[in-house]
Amino acid sequence: MTGLERARTAFLLFSLLLTSACAPRFIDPGPVHGEAALYASHFWTRDGISLAYRAWLPDGDTPPKAVIVALHGFNDYSAFFDKPATFLKAHGIASYAYDQRGFGANGFRGRWFATDRYRMDAADFSRAVAKRHPGVPVYLLGESMGGAVAMSLAAQRETPWIAGTILSAPAVWSRDTMPWYQRATLWLAAHTIPAVPLSGRGLKIKPSDNVEMLIQLGRDPLVIKGTRVDAIAGLVDLMDDAMAAAANFDGRSLILYGGRDEIIRGGPTRTMIKRLPPADTRKLAIYPGGYHMLLRDLDARTVWTDITHWLSHPDAALPSGADTGAMTKLLR
């Protein structure tokens, strides 16, 4: 953007700012006063919201080797983990995934809640799963937006039942990594047209090389196609929180990132990695040919295999070698 274009943008923003009066319309379900409960097909939150979920359990009576609680990305829902979970199930690992607030089969579709409620749900759901599988290590896995939720929760160090965290392309595109005009545009849109839905059509962004999977997502009625502006603002609030949490994210973790990620680009991810405290229990894996949807790319089985190996041998090198020289790969 040239100096003249920036001046024009600033003038437009200032002019519109004078007429802005609305605030982002986030859903407030009321006070937290009840108890969370895990039923056969839905999870009841402490503030009275019903969240749909699904589970993939190994066959037989033998307890699973480990349990993964998976958190989906923005506009997605729990079905995102179907193929990874089926692979993990064959290796004796159980998986659970729920539709986060405002997504999937839940009410208030397309609406955003406060960041602390997404964090609360992840804590309560994972704790309920841990009670269902006593003595079995439980890991929290988050993709994109789900990664931001998982990262924010883990950094609080208030979840002793969680043995570790797996972040797949975590959403850390925080405001402090955006140029000023993007921050200003987001603020202005959130305060003037919060309910206007936007789509990603025409952006020419490639989230995965798995075209068949992307076509299926486009046809899936539970995948949100038009995103409200205030939901985007809420997501950025969450990403701000995740980036701020980086300084305290020092537990056992596996961080996965694709070298061709066009959604959460390398800049914010590098900033997040540099802010992490030293930790011998952390492993970074970079897949040069991977996209944002690493878990559903054409080469996703390589990532699934690495996750399976890490769960049993967290200190050993990954089968794919993606952890070898990972920081160098990220800095390229």
The enclosing domain of 192 has a CATH number of 3.40.50.1820
User: Binning pLDDT at 50, 70 and 90, where does residue 17 land?
Assistant: very low
Q: What pLDDT sits at residue 5? A: 54
User: Binning pLDDT at 50, 70 and 90, where does residue 171 land?
Assistant: very high
Q: What pLDDT sits at residue 183? A: 58
Dihedral sign from CA coordinates of 111, 121, 146, 59: negative
pLDDT at 23 over 80: no
- C-alpha–C-alpha distance, residues 59 and 41, integer Å: 19
- Please give the tally of structural domains in the chain: 1
Q: What pLDDT sits at residue 14? A: 41
Q: What pLDDT sits at residue 67? A: 98
Q: Is residue 6 part of a domain?
A: no
- The two three-digit tokens of residue 42, written as one number: 């839905």
Q: What pLDDT sits at residue 240? A: 93
Residues 6+ apart with CB under 8 A from 71: 97, 100, 122, 140, 141, 142, 143, 145, 146, 147, 149, 150
**Residues 301-314 pLDDT 10s:** 999 999 999 999 99
What's the length of the chain?
Answer: 332
Q: What pLDDT sits at residue 310? A: 98
Q: Is residue 12 part of a domain?
A: no
Q: Is residue 283 part of a domain?
A: yes
**Residues 106-130 pLDDT 10s:** 999 999 999 999 999 999 999 999 9
| Summary mean pLDDT of the chain | 87
Q: What pLDDT sits at residue 13? A: 44
| Beta-carbon count within 10 A of 11 CB | 10
Q: Is residue 212 part of a domain?
A: yes
Q: Tell me if 115 sits within 8 A of 94, measured CB to CB.
A: no
Q: Is residue 267 part of a domain?
A: yes
Q: Is residue 31 part of a domain?
A: no
Q: Is residue 291 part of a domain?
A: yes
Residues 6+ apart with CB under 8 A from 286: 257, 258, 259, 322, 326, 329, 330
Range of the domain at 66: 38-331
pLDDT at 191 over 80: no
| Beta-carbon count within 10 A of 5 CB | 10
Q: Is residue 17 part of a domain?
A: no
